[in-house]
Amino acid sequence: MKSFDAIVIGAGQAGPFLAARMVEKGMKVALIERKFLGGTCVNAGCMPTKTLVASARAAHVARNGATYGVNIPGVIAIDMKVVRARAETVTMNARNGLIGWFAGMDGMTVIYGHARFEDPKTVSVNGETLTAPRIFLNVGARPVIPDLPGINDIDYLTSTSIIDLDTLPRHLAVIGGSYIGLEFAQMYRRFGAEVSVIEHGPKLASREDEDISDAIADVLRSEGIDIHTGASEIAFSKSSDGITVATDSARIDASHVLIATGRKPNTDDLGLDAAGVITDGRGFITVDDKLATNVDGIWALGDCNGHGAFTHTSYNDFEIAAANLLDSDDRKLSSRILAYALYIDPPLGRVGITEKQARASGHKILISTRPMSRVGRANERGETKGFMKVIADAETKKILGAAILGIEGDEVIHGIIDAMNAGTTYPALQWSVPIHPTVSELIPTLLGDLKPV
């Protein structure tokens, strides 16, 4: 049996950085990864997909160049092999960077293999047994494949496998109208494929307010994407030239099907029962406000604990654990203000609670909205789709939440994220003097228009 000061299972966006901090403190750490360093973000999420989004935007801008007085003769052609290779290069550079970083650390042992608990202090991997007083789980999540009629009779894609596609689909059917599915839908439409989005629920991006969801749908429809919501029945069958996707209201002749119906944690094959670690009904590991599980000496970080499915929330889990365990600090999960983005174009930046949640909470609220068509920067760039929205508490003057669907919305939202984290009231932020011409300069104007509901 090999002994360590700590064992980290999973090399996503929390575990490796925590392992590195512990090594800096002179600890002996084992980092176990069953596949690739970097987790979902580096290998099948943020980095490759946003690289693909950038290629798709380049194609979109080129096709619309004449609007700006830039005439490009001939057809704008897409070389999917080059597109895929570019995404793979970005992934490999990041992955290899991590490999080199860890190789230079005395005290770090990187083990590739499938780890399972033998007891609360012991894990087995590759036929060896390892023990440590502290064990951290950062095992991530994977795509959910729903049990739909005919799904096992077709070759479907997931958000992981579609990244390896180096040919252009004739018609891509996206099953699931949430964040991952919508990003791939717009991306492949801009590459030149016909695209249909099929969503079981009544609207796209179901987490958002109705007006945001409607605006997202308008953006996608304006680019020629067919959207089918309220699809209560979805079934698949092979056809002579592809796959037939049948719903209760439509029949789609697709060449490829992307299943984008959510993700589930990679916790079902870790031997958690042997350690006594509790999970909820969906398989997420139950943690307290400091990310500790019910078993002393075991923590769960990142997607597998159900408190955020984003790279930045996973990294923040590392920060919380490191601060509490290594720096004698007192940081809590409940102090985190959730923010995220949807990377369609224009993007959606979101922070805090929605209008629907604010109304349900009983707050006396103020709301302000402003169309992007009234933003100078958006007009100058010729990108006026979307709108800004902010919700505030009428009594405390604190900002409760905001959504910016529009040009640079994923960047502009950070002004509000920072204000909320600092506890700044909206009147104080209203009197800031932002730079012109930017999208952010409209935040004080937006706040100045807050009205009671």
What residues are labeled active site? 436
- Share in percent of the chain as helix, strand, coil (round to 5): 35, 25, 40
8 A C-beta contact, residue 338 and residue 308: yes
Sequence-distant (6+) residues with CB within 8 A of 293 are 137, 277, 278, 285, 286, 287, 299, 300
The residues facing 131 across adjacent strands are 3, 122
By C-alpha distance, which of 283, 339, 313 is closest to 39?
A: 313
By C-alpha distance, which of 32, 23, 26, 22 is closest to 2?
A: 32
Residue 407 CB neighbours (<10 A): 24
- Look at the chain and count its residues: 453
Rg (CA), the chain: 24
State the sign of the Cα–Cα–Cα–Cα dihedral 178, 183, 184, 188. Answer: positive
* Dihedrals phi, psi of 353, to nearest 5 degrees: -95, 160
Sequence-distant (6+) residues with CB within 8 A of 312 are 339, 340
- Give the integer Cα–Cα distance in Å for 353 and 390: 10
